[in-house]
Amino acid sequence: MRSATWLALADDEGNLTDSIFDTYRELADGGVGTIVTGITTISPHDNLIEGIAQFHSDKFINQHKKFTDMIHEYDCKIFMQTAIVDSIFYIDDELYKVPITKLSHEHIDEVVNLFKNAAIRAKSAGYDGIQLHVAHGFFLSTFISPLYNGRNDQYAGSPENRAKILGDIIDSIREVVGKNFCVIAKINCDDFTEGGLNINDCIVACKVMKAHGIDAIEISGNFTSREARAGANEGYFQKYAVAVKERVDIPIILVGGHRSVEAMNNLINKTDIEFLSLSRALIREPAIINRWKSGDIKPSKCIGGNMCYRTPGHKCIFNLRLNKKNR
């Protein structure tokens, strides 16, 4: 799988651009089995991330239908990563960033409806499924974290209560899309911040999502290792993913530092983890899956320096230098 990767290529109104089509066409043609899109906001109030795609209105459906049709031409599946970036809601006809502790039940109902309506649109637009973004410090990630959720109602206190919102969202989605539309989630295994969500909280949240009908869960965390190399620190969330798999009977997707066929084969063969998702390796080589399938199993050339996030469209700096040299 290609894990969700922020590209910062949507226009100022959140529309898909030719550059987005070109980037994903290259990935689909490169042999990846399933693509999860970069973060897509489903709230009309989110505007905090440069180049973020938006999907809070039916007006976006037609362009996304063209997008999914293109991906499917390459025998590739496509999921939309749906997210609320921050807790911005109307209060007395004015927009405010509302702390999680101050969110009313009406605000929480609004959150649930935003995800439900996004799922309806995604299905209409031809997506094979959606991914709920419950990681990396965005709204749902902070809501289930004890560091941020200091509420005193049924959505707070125990890990089960903090994860209640996830069950509410999944239930609302299932009511409108049925059982044959895939709904997965991406969650932090640990916030890696004092007082934040830990692996035990993560396991409880995964149990809640499983009970409400989630199809698979991708295990991530609040950091990216710059030490990942072929043969060193690959699959750096592995121990957390294995811990979740041992406690929750759900397909697990593992992201984080996959660089070599050898290490990935070992991970799949020696654990019960079902899926592996790649991000930076596919930024470096969008067709790396086809290369490996052809018999050339040299490891990814990605060195994990994260300089790609300082370039337009989040391209690998080595590819940009090579293209410039060839011109």
Q: What is the pLDDT of residues 195-218, one digit of tens each?
A: 999 999 999 999 999 999 999 999
**pLDDT at residue number 89:** 86
Longest CA–CA separation in the chain, Å: 62
Q: In sequence order, what are the beta bridge partners of 130? A: 80, 183
- Measured at the CA of 171, the angle between CA 165 and CA 174, to 5 degrees, comes to 140
Given a cut of 80, whether residue 230 has pLDDT beyond it is no
- Cα–Cα distance measured from residue 51 to residue 11, given in angstroms and rounded to the nearest whole number: 6
**pLDDT at residue number 71:** 98
- Cα–Cα distance measured from residue 85 to residue 103, given in angstroms and rounded to the nearest whole number: 15
- Measured at the CA of 183, the angle between CA 178 and CA 169, to 5 degrees, comes to 80
**pLDDT at residue number 321:** 67
Confidence of residue 228 (pLDDT cuts 50, 70, 90): low
- Kindly report, residue by residue over 240-266, the tens digit of the pLDDT: 999 999 999 999 999 999 999 999 999
- Cα–Cα distance measured from residue 94 to residue 53, given in angstroms and rounded to the nearest whole number: 24
Nearest alpha-carbon partner for 1 in 22, 30, 40: 30
Given a cut of 80, whether residue 48 has pLDDT beyond it is no
- Kindly report, residue by residue over 61-104, the tens digit of the pLDDT: 999 999 999 999 999 999 999 999 998 888 778 888 999 999 99
**pLDDT at residue number 129:** 98
Q: Are strands 88-91 and 94-97 parallel, antiparallel or unpaired?
A: antiparallel
- Cα–Cα distance measured from residue 296 to residue 182, given in angstroms and rounded to the nearest whole number: 33
For residue 78, how far is the Cα from the chain centroid? 12
- Cα–Cα distance measured from residue 54 to residue 16, given in angstroms and rounded to the nearest whole number: 9
In the chain, % of residues over pLDDT 70: 95
Given a cut of 70, whether residue 140 has pLDDT beyond it is yes
Contact yes or no for 85/46 (Cβ under 8 A): yes
**pLDDT at residue number 90:** 81
**pLDDT at residue number 325:** 59
- Kindly report, residue by residue over 299-326, the tens digit of the pLDDT: 998 877 777 777 878 887 877 766 665 6
**pLDDT at residue number 132:** 98
- Cα–Cα distance measured from residue 299 to residue 257, given in angstroms and rounded to the nearest whole number: 12
DSSP per residue, 231-298: TBSTTTTHHHHHHHHHH--S-EEEES----HHHHHHHHHHS---EEEBSHHHHH-TTHHHHHHTT--P
Q: Are strands 53-54 and 34-36 parallel, antiparallel or unpaired?
A: unpaired
Could you tell me the residue ranges of all domains in the chain?
18-326
* Tokens coding 38: 């970069």
Mean pLDDT of the chain: 93
Report the top-level CATH class of 18-326.
alpha beta
pTM: 0.95
Nearest alpha-carbon partner for 7 in 282, 232, 227, 277: 282
**pLDDT at residue number 227:** 65
- Kindly report, residue by residue over 4-46, the tens digit of the pLDDT: 999 999 999 999 999 999 999 999 999 999 999 999 999 998 8
**pLDDT at residue number 319:** 74
Confidence of residue 226 (pLDDT cuts 50, 70, 90): low
Element (H, E) at 40: strand 40-41
Determine phi and psi for 278, rounding to 5 degrees: -120, 145
